Structure 1
Amino acid sequence: MKVLVIKFRNIGDVLLSTPLILNLKNIYPDSIIDFVLNKGCEDMVSNNPNVKNIIIYDRPRIKKLPIFSQLKEEIRFTRNIRHNNYDIVINLTEGERGAQLAFFSGAKIKLGFSVRKGIFSKIKIFDKLGDDKKWQHTVEKDLQFINLLGKEIINKEVKIYWPTEIEQEVDKILSDNSIEQFVHIHPVSRWMFKCWEDDRMAKIIDYLQKDKGIKVIITGAPIKKELDRIDKILRLCKTRPVNLSGMLTLKHLACLSSKAKLFFGVDTAPMHMAAINTPVMALFGASEASKWGPWHNNGKNHYLNDGLQINGCHTVFAESDHTAVYFGAIKKYQGMLNINIEPILKELNELL
């Protein structure tokens, strides 16, 4: 039995599909499971004992090619998928590229979502369709394909794996900085409108370090706009957190957060990674907590899109006003602006 899972989305989306992989392996223990994803997301499933091959689609490289060369690349990529002779293909997105791969795969069973636009929206591709309209968490959305296979969901645990050397390197970073207990703060997102106000984030950092006496470690991606945003936050701080922004891989980030007393941040892939092993406090004012809230592997995960919510491990502050507001060329969401600092300080005081 050969199974192909396709998810052409972002880093956090791929991570949240790992319960599906685990269930497929439990149901078909002798199966070979391959995973197709966008370049940059592979760390979410590498080292996963249930994934045999990771097939990477290098979108940025292909988009830079002349149109004829792009077409050749698409044909080559699709042909390679077909030559693998999969028995089951599960496409976890509504886009054309995954549908195209499923259509030409030659698989006996093809499952996926209705394609939203383009030529493949007019063609019957999948034997059974998942429900992409239901208001449900992304983990549950992906797991529905187990039921469509006529099987029962056995496990809903999100998993990420890293090698021993990553653990050793993170331990050395903590040792070199004389850190035992710490709060991990990842204050930025690739989508800047998901970020909280810089001055409020700085006050949280100062509160944790000065009032609660616990060290803060700041992280961010090695991307200029994120690093610039973090620099602005740090300039507003009266205390000095340990700044590891731009220095860590995704595996290092996951390992680091697993050792934290608490993760604090917004809706990002690092937040989802942290939620696997560490209590999370997350701010949602530009995306739906009901779909993207921090997943609790051993508890309830039914978030609303408004208000303070605690599920026994994770804490979510959510605002449902997702109106875009502009300050010059800067796009923000009203929901993020509506999240005040006082209730957060109160919850932090109780947690720590």
Structure 2
Amino acid sequence: MNKINPKRILVMKFRNIGDVLLTTPLIKNLRFNFPDAIIDIAVNKGSKEMVTLNPNINEVIIYDRAKIKKYSPIKRIIEEIKFALSIRKKSYDMVINTTKGDRGAQLALISGAKIKVGYSGEKNILTKNVFTNYLPKQELRHTLEMDLDTLREFNLDIKEKKVEIFWSKEDEEKVDDILKKENIEIKNFIHIHAVSRWMFKCINDITMAKIIDYCEDHLAIKVILTAAPVSHEIERLNNILSLCNSKPIVLSGKLTLKQTVCLNKKAKIFIGVDTSIMHISAANNIPVLAFFGPSGTDHWGPWDNDMMESGYTKRNGFQTMGKHRVIAESRDCQPCGKDGCDGTKISDCLMNLDFEFIKKNINEMVND
């Protein structure tokens, strides 16, 4: 295949927070291969914190999906066109759409880039033949590996597979002040993010309360709890706290996302469900104990930055990758990718996890 040498590259990831974070190995390896190129990334508003301050990125372009959806149909079309033309004006040589979404395909089409990389859109006649280079299906591979397929397509070097995230000095100072006020030493607390924006990813509240109490009362290690500043997450966390006998430190809604990232870096281990904070913990090289139900560990398990190959070889059941551990049942229906069983928003496979097995793993990780 002919060697390419793009001067301006756009990576597009119009997905959620964790998905955006997992693109950073692609960005880093693009920088390795094209050290003098302009490398930008386009993401949905709300996920930009995963890539801001990243030294390998020149510009983070924000698509405000929620704002545009509120407009009238005509106004919405006008705003979509304006956004597309703003991409075209940047004269990219190479555009990479890392998902199957129509928006990325449409922007690639309008971009005018000579090299357009993405996934087949056979269901949409308008975007069916957009790309000059098509990427393979994910199959049973980790999402991080899927993002790196662009490099393989052009026989480019993959020098490392490290997920990276960055924060400011001001964020560091804010977190240090909190820990000092609470008299908590670095690497002497457990960070637990107990809930998800998707409630069907949550374990039983009673089990989570037992985990918190076990860490605080039996292991005598302080627990710091975080949650997003949204009502349904804070309400769920409050219910968990009502079931606890211990008194963990609760920082729900008190930290920005970047400050949560910084706090996490100072923890001994992380315990939580399948959320962006889990991926952030792995990026911070903090040992993760995660609970998986409807989502597949092979696609979304916490990635160990010290490894070059995924350790997740099964779709369900208990698995490890380096320092990280995923607890999941081994039901034939897992992973189903559904929002709970029979539309209930509750996943049965997360309701009766073996607490003795959870304790065993926490013990081993804390004493490792």
2:318 counterpart SS class: strand
CA distance in 2, matches of 1:242, 1:283: 22
Name the % identity: 48
> Given the two structures, how large is their TM-score scaled by the length of structure 1?
0.96
Amino acid at match of 1:334: D
- Find the partner of 2:270 among 249, 263, 266: 263
1:132 paired residue number: 137
- Find the partner of 2:324 among 314, 317, 333: 314
CA distance in 1, matches of 2:116, 2:64: 24
User: Structure 1, unaligned stretches of length 5 or more?
Assistant: none
2:311 paired residue number: 302
Post-superposition CA distance 1:207-264 (Å, at most 9, x none): 0000000000000000100000000000000001000011111111111111100000
Post-superposition CA distance 1:18-59 (Å, at most 9, x none): 000000011000000111010001000000011111110100
1:183 paired residue number: 190
1:285 paired residue number: 293
Which stretch of the first structure deviates more once superposed, 330-339 or 26-35?
330-339
Matches within 5 A, 1:219-258: 219-258=226-265
RMSD across aligned positions (CA): 1.6
CA distance in 2, matches of 1:139, 1:40: 20
CA contact 1:94–1:116 (8 Å) conserved in 2:
no
CA contact 2:341–2:348 (8 Å) conserved in 1:
no
- Find the partner of 2:32 among 26, 30, 38: 26
2:4 paired residue number: none
- Find the partner of 1:146 among 139, 147, 151: 151
1:120 aligned onto 2:135: no
- Find the partner of 2:161 among 142, 156, 162: 156
Report deviation, 1:333: 1.7
Amino acid at match of 1:96: D
User: Structure 2, unaligned stretches of length 5 or more?
Assistant: 1-6
1:332 counterpart SS class: coil
CA distance in 1, matches of 2:290, 2:43: 26
2:3 paired residue number: none
Report deviation, 1:132: 2.3
Report deviation, 1:329: 7.5
The count of residues paired between Structure 1 and Structure 2 equals: 351
Amino acid at match of 2:218: D
Post-superposition CA distance 1:287-317 (Å, at most 9, x none): 0000000010002523122222222311111
2:355 paired residue number: 341
> Given the two structures, how large is their TM-score scaled by the length of structure 2?
0.92
Matches within 5 A, 1:42-57: 42-57=48-63
Amino acid at match of 1:173: I
CA contact 1:325–1:334 (8 Å) conserved in 2:
no
CA contact 1:184–1:216 (8 Å) conserved in 2:
yes
1:97 counterpart SS class: helix
CA distance in 1, matches of 2:196, 2:165: 20
Amino acid at match of 2:345: K
CA distance in 2, matches of 1:120, 1:254: 40
Report deviation, 1:327: 8.7
1:64 paired residue number: 70
Q: 1:327 to 1:78 in 2, by over 3 A?
A: closer
- Find the partner of 1:17 among 17, 23, 27: 23
1:275 counterpart SS class: helix
CA distance in 2, matches of 1:116, 1:197: 41
CA distance in 2, matches of 1:296, 1:328: 34
Report deviation, 1:163: 1.0
Report deviation, 1:17: 0.3
2:220 paired residue number: 213
2:13 paired residue number: 7
2:349 counterpart SS class: helix
Post-superposition CA distance 1:73-125 (Å, at most 9, x none): 0100001101100000000110100000001100010001122643335x311
Report deviation, 1:127: 1.1
CA distance in 1, matches of 2:137, 2:355: 34
CA contact 1:218–1:243 (8 Å) conserved in 2:
yes
Report deviation, 1:328: 10
Q: 1:329 to 1:82 in 2, by over 3 A?
A: closer
- Find the partner of 1:199 among 191, 195, 206: 206
CA distance in 1, matches of 2:63, 2:32: 27
Report deviation, 1:202: 0.1
1:85 paired residue number: 91
